[in-house]
Amino acid sequence: MNQLEMSEIIAAASFLAGFLGALSGLGGGVVIVPLLVLGFGVDMRYAMGASLISVIATSSGAAAAYVREGISNIRIGMFLEIATTIGAIVGAMLAASSPTRLLAVVFGIVLLYSAGMSLRRKKPMALDGPADHLAQTFKLDGLMPVDGDWVPYRTRRIPLGFGLMFGAGTLSGLLGIGSGAVKVLAMDEAMQIPFKVSTTTSNFMIGVTAAASAGVFLSRGYIQPALVMPVTLGVLAGSVLGARFLAAAKVRTVRLIFATVIAALGVEMIFNALHGRLS
């Protein structure tokens, strides 16, 4: 098999990852690394570098639409990006010196967690309640569109959310993913931001977080253009189609398929790492 044929296969597999990732809300990046490592025998750090570039591309396209519609909270995103960017740089530096087996085990655990997150039922969030002093100081409360009207919502527990965002950024840099599931958890559960605002603001932040990590990977030589190009093009095309398909799809069924796939990949990553099959 020549280089062109290999690139076409990787692009096709990345397309599927992006398509399922868009339907699940977690993005295709979480599938790309185990796909390249287990399916194509790519060194884990090169796979992480390719995944980060694809995350930047897909996040940028979707984030622009959400910002234009007024759903994303830019002030929250810019504030929390301080934590995620610092964490991403720390994580990327750790990734360069950490054993591959350790990275694979951590990645497998994150995949299993993401599988559970993709199936979690979203509960409605209270939009009113007492104001938070720090949220008022930094003007983090906002408005969201609901049935053609703009409804105010509160932001709470800022220090807890900021700390969780540092952890999300560290995971992003350490594993080469957007860590959107952790970002959404921090905003949705800890900061009690409405779920739609949490997911769209997370998408806005993911690209910046991935860019910070990618800079470290690029400086270490782990960004390989021949691998990055088919992965990025495949994930980007799959994400666009997945977003269009979302309105008509039985999302619960797709989420179940997605969760099954990434849970299997997580178990496989952990098994191969513990048995020394990943060098």
- How distant, in Å, are the alpha carbons of 136, 207, 219 from that of 87? 25, 14, 17
Query: Is 143:69 a contact under the CB 8 Å cutoff?
Result: no
Query: Is 88:222 a contact under the CB 8 Å cutoff?
Result: no
The string of pLDDT tens digits covering residues 91-109 is 999 988 888 888 889 988 9
The string of pLDDT tens digits covering residues 192-230 is 888 778 878 887 888 888 888 999 999 999 999 999 999
| Separation CA 154–CA 76 (nearest Å) | 11
pTM of the model as a whole: 0.81
SS3 of residue 151 by DSSP: strand
* Helices and strands (DSSP H and E) totals, the chain: 12, 2
Residue 51 token pair: 């995944």
Task: Name the residue with higher pLDDT: 250 or 150.
Answer: 150
User: What residue type is 241 in one-letter code?
Assistant: L
Query: Is 180:110 a contact under the CB 8 Å cutoff?
Result: no
Element (H, E) at 163: helix 158-175
| Separation CA 16–CA 106 (nearest Å) | 24
Give the pLDDT band (50/70/90) at residue 89: very high
The string of pLDDT tens digits covering residues 113-170 is 877 876 766 555 555 666 688 888 888 888 888 777 888 888 989 999 999 999 989 9
Average pLDDT over all residues of the chain: 83
Task: Name the residue with higher pLDDT: 251 or 197.
Answer: 197
Cα atoms in the Cβ-side hemisphere of radius 13 Å centred on 210 = 29
Supply the DSSP symbol for 187.
I
Residues in Cβ contact with 262 at an 8 Å cutoff, skipping those fewer than 6 apart: 30, 31, 34, 111, 114, 115, 118
Query: Is 99:273 a contact under the CB 8 Å cutoff?
Result: no
| Separation CA 69–CA 84 (nearest Å) | 24
The string of pLDDT tens digits covering residues 23-73 is 665 666 778 888 898 889 899 899 999 999 988 887 776 677 677 778 889
List phi, psi (to 5°) of 28.
-80, -15
Query: Is 92:216 a contact under the CB 8 Å cutoff?
Result: yes
